Structure formats: structure tokens, C-alpha cells
Amino acid sequence: MRGKYLELALDQFLKLVQQAEFRHEQRKTEIERSKVRVNLKGGGRKPKLTIAEEVCLSLFYLRQMPTFEILGMHFDVSKTEANDTFHYWLKIFRSILPASLLEQVEEREADYAIVQELLTEFDLIVDSYEQPRERPRDNHEQQQYFSGKKKRHTFKSQVVSMPKAQDIIDVAVGAKGSTSDISLFRSQMSKFAHTQSFKGDKAYVGGKNISTPHKKPRNRELSVEQKAENKAFSNQRIFALTLN
């Protein structure tokens, strides 16, 4: 599953549009109640894009991360309108889509501490994935976003999930492509109890409290037992990979 792009089926997209439109109408109603009207209702410039197109524009930006100038060209709108459209729908996405477990309790200190303690009963699964981005113009920025693994400029994200991906615990999004998996993991560890245990692939060898597969020794082969253990280990992690 590694390297596969996350796909949104048509029925999922239509359901997202339906939920987003419903929340959009709620926001419009809330604004109308507090608005001092000068023009007649329904007046003003008509939107160039349909709601489905605006949602699509926002998803396209989240997936590809183009400049707003390029985004506007794709949807035949100005750079400013592309920017405004994306940021409007991003707020709606945040209100209708589920947050990660830690995000849900991050503002409630007591609940956060309880969740941290409960999570220590599990070996959490950690994995990273990358998505391509346009090549930066600045040479220094090019180096920061160039991924040696993908051989192109990317954004890197990391998901921490429950065993068998029953729930997403935490997500780190949009790191520079040159960031190593282990560095990204270390930056997330501060969110968890110091006794929290994890499972990850070979990119996380050397990390604290994280179990990884046996790495093939230089100029030698793994034993039959080690290969069997690696296979069992991979079977436990496959659920997290499907999230990518």
C-alpha cells in the first residue's frame, strides 16, 4: 500500500459536498441574522463556481499544494478568489470532518492526560507518507523540500494510529520532504506519555520506545526466525498503511 495516493470515491465526494453545502447554508443564515442589509437579498456578484466546484478546488489544493495562481488557472478564477475560496471551505471542512483523537482533547488538559494514560495500554502504529509539490523557485527551499526517497519535491506527513487503524490518534502534516521519518516521529513524541510504545517500519530504527522489523545485516541474510517475525510484524502494520 505504500506509495499509493489516497483516493476519494465519487459517492464519498458527493456526500462531502452535501455536508459542506448544509454547513455553508447554516453559516449564511447566521451571517444574515447579524447583518445590516444595504442591498436587496440575492443582490451582488454571482459566484463563478458551483459549490461542488469550490469544494473540488479546495480538495485539489490540499492534495497538490499548488500556488494560488496555478490553482486559479485550473479553475478559471483569479489568484485572490482561489485563495479566498480555499480558506472559506477549509473552515467548513474543519467543522464537518472528524479530528484526530488528540486534537479532540488538546484544549482540555485533564481529558488529554487521561487519553495519554489510556493509550499506553496499546502499541501505537506510526507511518509516514509523501505527496508531490511544485518545485520551489528558491534554491535553498528546493533542497529543503527535495525527497531523496521520492526523487522529487514533496510534503511529508505522518500518522499515528491505534492497532488495526481503529482510530487516528495524531497526524503531522506538511513537513518538508527532506525531513527524515525518525525526525518527524521524535517531534511528535512530546504529545504522548514517556512510556508510550510504538511500532514502525525500518525508517524508525533507533527511535525511543518503538519496535521495528529486523534490518538485514550488511553482507549477511536474516535468519528464518527473523524473516518470520518481520512478516508477522508487517501484517500488524498493514492497516495503518491503508490510511495513506
User: Which runs of consecutive H residues, i.e. helices, occur in the chain?
Assistant: 10-34, 51-64, 68-75, 79-96, 101-105, 109-119, 139-145, 181-188, 224-242
Interval 102-146: pLDDT, tens: 988 888 999 999 999 999 999 999 988 888 887 888 888 888 888
Q: Which residues pair with 155 in a beta bridge?
A: 131, 176
Q: What is the pLDDT of residue 3?
A: 37
The residue-averaged pLDDT of 235-243 equals 50
> With 90 as the cut, is the pLDDT of residue 203 above it?
no
* Nearest-angstrom CA–CA distance, 50 and 89: 13
CA–CA gap between residue 3 and residue 25 (Å, rounded): 38
Residue 110, C-alpha cell as written in the block: 485533564
User: Measured between alpha carbons, how far is 98 from 165 in angstroms, rounded to an integer?
Assistant: 15
Answer for the pair 115, 102: CB distance below 8 angstroms, yes or no. Answer: yes
Q: What is the pLDDT of residues 25-49, one digit of tens each?
A: 998 888 777 766 555 555 556 788 9
Which range (70-79, 110-119, 141-150, 164-173) has the least confidence? 164-173
Average pLDDT over residues 10-16: 91
Determine the average pLDDT of the residues in 73-79. 94
> Is 127 buried (19+), middle (13-18) or exposed (0-12) by CB count in 10 A?
buried
For residue 195, what pLDDT is reported? 93
Does residue 238 register a pLDDT over 50?
Answer: no
pTM (predicted TM-score): 0.66
